[in-house]
Structure 1
């Protein structure tokens, strides 16, 4: 069975990962960087954090929504056994390998930078996201296959009807508010290795699937009302940014977060749903780049911070270094060495190699 390729969703995934790299580099220039295990520059760039506070409420939730959408498309051509095997190869294997072999590398760089005794320390680090996604696949797949089996039922029709209204997609914010009320996170942006991050990711993953499941009506709605969503999100950000405590709280932030995301889905569907050679390359590269980027940016900090440049030059230098080196490693190592490909989330080449050999015979 062939499925329609959604290039806009691919672009949003690429953009979100790119922003993640820049966000992590910006942490180096914040006074609190060491509290979360980052190398810290002696010269802070606290002004960098202002735009980051806007990105922070939607960049990770967006990835959860996109992941749920990706599962919908994966399910269209796989039964549950095939899906579980495929996701184990693509998510669980890189997750386990990353804990053992990748995340310890940036911790070694951290130890070296601060002249600490070097020690091997396996940990999830930034790969917590993969662990969450795999759990969601296991937990929610039975529900998703039930919905797929009843694709013309009352629930599908009801969801599709709700999605015709501008407030329909945004109404999911109620569930995110309930999560805030139950979990009571210290900060909305504390996603990594927290119950808040787990449940907000679960909701994003579920509703990402549900959005695509509801049919074209969702995309038509977000495309039509995209600037309304972006405008609402911008207003709520300004209120949050200016510190009106009585008007801005985490319950309101759920509306801001989802408004940004819905607006981005609308913009993507309107302008980005077209193929390109650049997108094809970046779509394949973005997953392994995500896996290795922390080690590379720590290495960049190790090399550039001692040069004692202006902090903005250091930020630009580490950013350029991280992007270039990540893509060089991907292009000339991870992409080309067959045995490494599955360890970094790339498709296995084994079948193609066997097919070529059979043709020669």
Structure 2
């Protein structure tokens, strides 16, 4: 196996992507059509907010799929295929089923109550559809990615490294995504949740994310060399989408724009974010439970804030703060500390009393030895 150190930039990108997802979902609450997606919506909409959200919309979810594929590469460095499947069952499938049974019905109940709809128990994937897709990709693609990683010095892996050491490999990848959009008739392109387009787009991004890390340093050096070109392509195609197509550009323009943003994020992240820290260590653990929980606190915040009658920008800021604060408080007060709750949110089981005792012993022992 080729040597690979931990990639802190990828951890940071995952955390940032989940943060963008939370802000994006808050923005939906200020669009009149949000009610159709089970969002409590403000009576004072803010349609201008959708311009930056429209820019994000074509790459924020694909970015997470790429990152998920990268994570599988690193996980396989010290696991067998069977161990990875068991670990991902615990980390992905268990929270997914918990969300279907408890989390999504809770925020749908709040939506029903706020709007005066008939209240009922409604188990469904909701915003956690992403987890279901990822688990299927792991099951389906595990034989392929495991074989590639176990033969990193072989011909196929070598061919992938050569392919992705130049932008030509990225052009081939972009062509595959354009073909996927045409075959699935992806209209609108941004509709990923519970669609065949979203499923196959996610599978492609997951696999290519794995291939990016498999390709090693030549790939990342190529990204750094071309980072400004990727950003220029993304900005230019976004302006074309806005000015020429009124944000409804065809897939052959949306895909390269999406990839321009994603490759820019990876390139600049690799340059500036590849460093550890206590903040990253904490946020890497809390980000996943926040993703699972945030729709409940977004709905609760909407209950409290929307009747206030303050301007929409003020409501937006308050709702972001309420959602973030509620998620962190629940994580710190319940998820992090209650042992049997932790696995329901993708964390390892831990007896907090035992951990506290071990920390206390660890902190006290040096003082005893000094005496």
Give the structure-2-normalised TM-score: 0.92
Matched, 1:86 2:109: no
Distance 1:73 1:246 in 2: 37
Q: Is the 8 A contact 1:38 1:110 kept in 2?
A: yes
2:364 equivalent in structure 1 = none
Q: Is the 8 A contact 1:288 1:330 kept in 2?
A: yes
**Displacement of 1:170:** 4.0
1:178 equivalent in structure 2 = 179
Aligned pairs for 1:32-111 within 5 A: 32-111=33-112
Q: Relative to structure 1, is the Cα distance of residues 26 and 17 closer, same or farther in structure 2, using a 3 angstrom cutoff?
A: same
The secondary structure found in structure 2 opposite 1:32 is: helix
Distance 2:247 2:343 in 1: 50
Distance 2:10 2:210 in 1: 12
Q: Is the 8 A contact 2:96 2:132 kept in 1?
A: yes
Q: Relative to structure 1, is the Cα distance of residues 352 and 7 closer, same or farther in structure 2, using a 3 angstrom cutoff?
A: farther
Q: Relative to structure 1, is the Cα distance of residues 333 and 278 closer, same or farther in structure 2, using a 3 angstrom cutoff?
A: same
Q: Is the 8 A contact 2:95 2:346 kept in 1?
A: yes
Distance 1:51 1:61 in 2: 17
Matched, 1:273 2:251: no
1:238 equivalent in structure 2 = 239
Q: Relative to structure 1, is the Cα distance of residues 19 and 339 closer, same or farther in structure 2, using a 3 angstrom cutoff?
A: same
Distance 1:41 1:6 in 2: 40
Distance 2:351 2:224 in 1: 41
The secondary structure found in structure 2 opposite 1:236 is: helix
Segments of 5+ residues of structure 2 without an aligned counterpart are: 362-371
User: Superposition RMSD on alpha carbons, in Å?
Assistant: 2.1
Distance 1:240 1:311 in 2: 26
Distance 1:247 1:296 in 2: 32
1:207 equivalent in structure 2 = 208
Q: Is the 8 A contact 1:223 1:270 kept in 2?
A: yes
- Give per-residue Cα distances to partners, 1:305-350, cap 9 Å, x unaligned: 0111111111111011001111111112100111100000112226
Aligned pairs for 1:17-32 within 5 A: 17-32=18-33
The secondary structure found in structure 2 opposite 1:77 is: coil
Query: Which deviates the most, 163-172 or 211-220?
Result: 163-172
Q: Relative to structure 1, is the Cα distance of residues 245 and 295 closer, same or farther in structure 2, using a 3 angstrom cutoff?
A: closer
Q: Relative to structure 1, is the Cα distance of residues 350 and 136 closer, same or farther in structure 2, using a 3 angstrom cutoff?
A: farther
Q: Is the 8 A contact 1:170 1:258 kept in 2?
A: no
Q: Relative to structure 1, is the Cα distance of residues 239 and 213 closer, same or farther in structure 2, using a 3 angstrom cutoff?
A: same
The secondary structure found in structure 2 opposite 1:172 is: helix
Distance 2:247 2:331 in 1: 48
Q: Relative to structure 1, is the Cα distance of residues 3 and 163 closer, same or farther in structure 2, using a 3 angstrom cutoff?
A: closer
Distance 1:323 1:350 in 2: 26
Q: Is the 8 A contact 2:241 2:247 kept in 1?
A: no
Matched, 1:136 2:137: yes
Q: After TM superposition, which residue ranges in structure 1, 4 or more long, deviate above 6 angstroms?
A: none
Aligned pairs for 1:1-361 within 5 A: 4-244=5-245, 248-349=249-350
Number of aligned pairs?
357
Distance 2:9 2:171 in 1: 20
Distance 1:155 1:300 in 2: 51
Distance 1:287 1:246 in 2: 31
Distance 1:155 1:263 in 2: 27
**Displacement of 1:249:** 1.1
- Give per-residue Cα distances to partners, 1:130-156, cap 9 Å, x unaligned: 000000000000001111222112222
**Displacement of 1:215:** 1.2
Give the structure-1-normalised TM-score: 0.95
**Displacement of 1:353:** 5.2
Distance 1:243 1:90 in 2: 44
Q: Is the 8 A contact 2:17 2:60 kept in 1?
A: yes
Distance 2:338 2:351 in 1: 12
Q: Relative to structure 1, is the Cα distance of residues 116 and 247 closer, same or farther in structure 2, using a 3 angstrom cutoff?
A: closer
